[in-house]
Structure formats: C-alpha cells, structure tokens
Amino acid sequence: MTKKLITMIAAGALVLAACGSDSGGDADDAQEETTDTASDAQEEPTDTASDAEDEPADPPSNVQEEAADTVIAATQRDGIELDGDCVNDLTSQLSDEDAQAIVDAGADSDADVSTEGTAIVSQLLGCAGNDQIIDAFIAEMERSGQEFDEECVREGLEDINLAELAASEEGQSGTPEEVISAVFDCFELGS
C-alpha cells in the first residue's frame, strides 16, 4: 500500500530527472493550485478529528485491528516503522468492508477499498517519521540503478512533508513537482 506510493514518487522523480521537465509556468501554477486544494482538503479532516477527540471513539472491530496489523507488517517489510496507535486510530475509521479488503489483500498487494477507505489509507504514511519515508524513497531509487547523490536527496527532501504529499491527490496521481524540484539536481546524468 504505502510502498506503491513511495515507488510511484521515486520512479517519477527518476524519469523526470533523466528526461527533464517540460512543464511551463501555467502547468506549474495549476500544480500549485492542486497542491493547495489537496492540502486544504486534508486540513478539514484534521479539524474534524480533533473535535472527535472530545467524544469517545467507537472501539475498533477485530477486522479493523487485523487491518492495522496487516498495514504495520507491510510497512515494516519496506523498512518503515509506523506508530501503532496512529495506525489503529486510522484503521478504526475504516468500514468493516474496507478493513476486510485490506486483510484479504495481505501485505503483498493493494486492497480494493472504497473512496472513503482510500482517503483513510492514504494518511497512513503520516504514522511514520519523514526520515523513514526518505529512507524508503532512497531505497526505491537505489533499486532503479540510476546514480544519484544520496546526501543531496536527503537534504532536498528534509523540509518536505512526504506523508502529506503522498496522501494528496497530486501524490497519488504521480510525482509531485515539489519532490522533482527538490531532487532534480541530485542525479548523476551521463552525457
């Protein structure tokens, strides 16, 4: 699940670094507008979640707990340690059907969940530290065989909230321009 997002972002950064970006100013403006819209949309559930803290949450069902365990196991294999309480909080918001889809898909594949489930699942990287996400991002880039300056990538990404970007509409549809700009000069391109 989360590996797919990291892989997509890393692969996009590699392709665009190798080929260059041909987007013009208008596309960049639209990209920024999309990012702003996605960020605004994400802030709303956060406000709702803080209001919900005042009210007792429904305890997660067994299938929701199993979904949390599946997510944690999948990300651990990818070298990302998610905060268990954070994952449980998110998976407890899943419908029983979405939670069961995650359990049925297992740690090796993506679950076919509802739109609401996708919105919740896309927030799971927020349960990890940014450094862990950067490590996973770099591991995916290393597997590609493309040469790059690891320290440059780390410095370029350190101030970007990768979990938020991965959860955004922009992050789910490809590599965000912000990531490309941050790592573009880190690639050692041949003549």
For residue range 159-178, list pLDDT tens digits in order. 998 888 877 777 666 778 88
**Residue 175 has what pLDDT?**
74
**Residue 95 has what pLDDT?**
95
Give a three-class secondary structure readout of the chain: CHHHHHHHHHHHHHHHHHHCCCCCHHHHHHHHHHHHHHHHHHHHHHHHHHHHCCCCCCCCCHHHHHHHHHHHHHHHHCCCCCCHHHHHHHHCCCCHHHHHHHHHHCCCCCCCCCHHHHHHHCCHHHHCCHHHHHHHHHHHHHHHCCCECHHHHHHHHCCCCHHHHHHCHHHHHCCCHHHHHHHHHHECCCC
Q: For the chain, what are the domain ranges?
A: 2-18+61-186
- Whether pLDDT at 35 is above 50: no
Instruction: Give pLDDT tens digits for 72-109.
Output: 998 888 778 899 999 999 999 999 999 999 999 988 78
